[in-house]
């Protein structure tokens, strides 16, 4: 009971204090996720106040907390984007996802294979886990005063949409090596039919239907004066949980389903309604995502990191530099919002690794029992938190001074 109260006090105090000084924090080199992560390290490995291993199955707890956090973040992105943005930028997003994601996967897996003493399938699972762009960490470069004042909207919106989509679409990349480990004879058939055919496409179908029906129901309730303001403001949070739970119960990709639900719902609302829904979703997002980074800080495998030695440091540096930037520069002609070279460099650098890597490394552990992927993914996430978190505001300000918002 004492650990529960310590955890509640830490979470509440962190959210309260960071919320009160969020504006200067967003303009500094200290991002909110980085501060939450460091607080987790302090409360766990350093001071020994909290011990997640005593709470139950800590890996399962982290997986589910990460899933809920991702769902809330992706719904927030869906409401924050311009209403038709995903449809208007379908060509650019297709190039990033269909061509860019597999290339990032191959590069990350190759670097893991080169730096670490691991098998090919482990390298492929690690590469797939760190492939997605994190929507929480990247929020420091796409939202807030610094981003709005210095960075072009086409860069911020495209990065947000990419982060939301590739969080869900990373599932097929993660599942392919898992299926090859479990049963190489039927892996391809199961991957095509079950993973792509049902989990991905089924998640899109369920999300589209759920978001559309929820939007229509909201409009009907408003027209008949059946809904009051407090109920209206929690609609999207309830919709997030419904999509997460319902899609998971049906065996589909619940992360992708939430974002599609948000996009479909967003087509039915607008103006003042849309602004209010977005604001409450962003507030809930902040309240739920910071504890995830605290939990990761509590659970980081220090001894396993140290056992990697210089190879772990080399992998982290190589992944940060080579995983994304060369791919975005290569695809620049096909991604119109990032076609300008300065914007392409910006988009190539800010592809942080975060909660999605934690979620997928936990999925790998649950399906295969492989802890090496968690060790590597947590190390790369920590490196990304530090490097991307500390460079977001300075680079955004430099971009604004050098190029303006053109």
Distances (CA, A) of 122 to 12, 310, 380, 383: 38, 19, 15, 20
Question: pLDDT tens across 110-134, in order?
Answer: 999 999 989 999 999 999 999 998 8
Identify the pLDDT of residue 144: 63
Identify the pLDDT of residue 350: 85
Instruction: Identify the band that residue 376 occupies on the pLDDT scale cut at 50, 70 and 90.
Output: very high
Burial 73-91 (b: 16+ CB within 10 A, else e): bbbbbbbbbebebbeebee
d(Cα 207, Cα 73) in Å, to the nearest integer?
Answer: 16
- 199 or 45: which carries more pLDDT confidence? 199
Identify the pLDDT of residue 315: 96
Instruction: Identify the band that residue 157 occupies on the pLDDT scale cut at 50, 70 and 90.
Output: confident
Distances (CA, A) of 288 to 26, 65, 254: 18, 9, 18
Question: pLDDT tens across 301-332, in order?
Answer: 988 999 998 999 999 999 999 999 999 999 99
- 273 or 292: which carries more pLDDT confidence? 292
Distances (CA, A) of 145 to 22, 284, 390, 396, 398: 10, 19, 16, 11, 14
Q: End-to-end distance of the chain based on CA atoms, in angstroms?
A: 54
The fraction of the chain above a pLDDT of 90, given in percent, is 41
The fraction of the chain above a pLDDT of 70, given in percent, is 87
Residue 52 has pLDDT above 80, yes or no: no
Identify the pLDDT of residue 93: 93
Instruction: Identify the band that residue 7 occupies on the pLDDT scale cut at 50, 70 and 90.
Output: confident
Instruction: Identify the band that residue 152 occupies on the pLDDT scale cut at 50, 70 and 90.
Output: confident
Among 139, 122, 105, which residue's Cα sits nearest to residue 36?
139
Identify the pLDDT of residue 138: 72
Identify the pLDDT of residue 23: 67
Identify the pLDDT of residue 173: 96
- 118 or 218: which carries more pLDDT confidence? 118
Q: Of 102-106, 136-140, 165-169, 270-274, which range is least confident?
A: 270-274
Distances (CA, A) of 382 to 78, 95, 161, 243, 302: 26, 28, 23, 29, 11
Question: pLDDT tens across 277-306, in order?
Answer: 555 556 666 667 778 888 888 888 988 999
Identify the pLDDT of residue 316: 95
The ranges assigned to domains in the chain are 61-290+318-403
Identify the pLDDT of residue 281: 54
Residue 271 has pLDDT above 70, yes or no: no
Whether the CB-CB separation of 220 and 212 falls below 8 Å is answered with no
Q: Which CATH class is domain 61-290+318-403?
A: mainly alpha
Instruction: Identify the band that residue 26 occupies on the pLDDT scale cut at 50, 70 and 90.
Output: low
Instruction: Identify the band that residue 263 occupies on the pLDDT scale cut at 50, 70 and 90.
Output: very high
Give mean pLDDT, residues 353-366.
93
């Amino acid at each position: 009971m004492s650990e529960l109260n310590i955890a509640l006090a830490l979470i509440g105090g962190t959210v309260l204090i960071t919320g009160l000084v969020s504006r200067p924090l967003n303009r500094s080199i200290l991002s909110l996720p980085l501060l939450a992560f460091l607080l987790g390290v302090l409360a766990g490995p350093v001071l020994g106040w909290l011990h997640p291993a005593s709470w139950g199955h800590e890996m399962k707890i982290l997986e589910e907390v990460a899933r809920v956090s991702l769902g809330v973040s992706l719904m927030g992105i869906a409401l924050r984007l311009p209403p038709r943005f995903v449809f208007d930028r379908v060509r650019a997003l297709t190039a990033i996802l269909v061509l860019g994601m597999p290339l990032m996967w191959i590069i990350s897996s190759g670097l893991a294979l080169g730096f670490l003493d691991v098998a090919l399938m482990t390298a492929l699972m690690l590469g797939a886990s760190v492939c997605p762009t994190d929507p929480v960490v990247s929020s420091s470069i796409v939202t807030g005063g610094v981003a709005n004042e210095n960075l072009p909207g086409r860069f911020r919106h495209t990065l947000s949409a990419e982060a939301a989509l590739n969080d869900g679409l990373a599932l097929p990349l993660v599942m392919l090596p898992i299926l090859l480990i479990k049963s190489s004879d039927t892996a391809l058939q199961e991957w095509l039919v079950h993973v792509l055919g049902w989990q991905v496409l089924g998640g899109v179908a369920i999300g589209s239907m759920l978001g559309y029906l929820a939007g229509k129901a909201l409009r009907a309730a408003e027209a008949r004066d059946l809904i009051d303001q407090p109920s209206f403001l929690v609609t999207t949070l309830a919709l997030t949980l419904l999509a997460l739970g319902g899609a998971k119960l049906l065996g589909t990709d619940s992360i992708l389903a939430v974002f599609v639900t948000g996009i479909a719902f967003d087509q039915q609302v607008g103006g003042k309604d849309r602004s209010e829904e977005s604001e409450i979703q962003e507030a809930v997002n902040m309240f739920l995502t910071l504890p995830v980074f605290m939990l990761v800080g509590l659970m980081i495998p220090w001894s396993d990191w140290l056992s990697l030695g210089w190879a772990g440091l080399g992998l982290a540096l190589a992944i940060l530099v080579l995983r994304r930037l060369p791919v975005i520069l290569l695809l620049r002609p096909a991604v119109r919002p990032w076609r300008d070279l300065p914007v392409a460099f910006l988009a190539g650098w800010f592809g942080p690794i975060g909660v999605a890597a934690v979620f997928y490394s936990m999925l790998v552990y649950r399906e295969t029992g492989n802890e090496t992927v968690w060790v590597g993914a947590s190390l790369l996430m920590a490196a990304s938190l530090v490097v991307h978190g500390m460079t977001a505001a300075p680079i955004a300000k430099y971009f604004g001074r050098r190029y303006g918002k053109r």
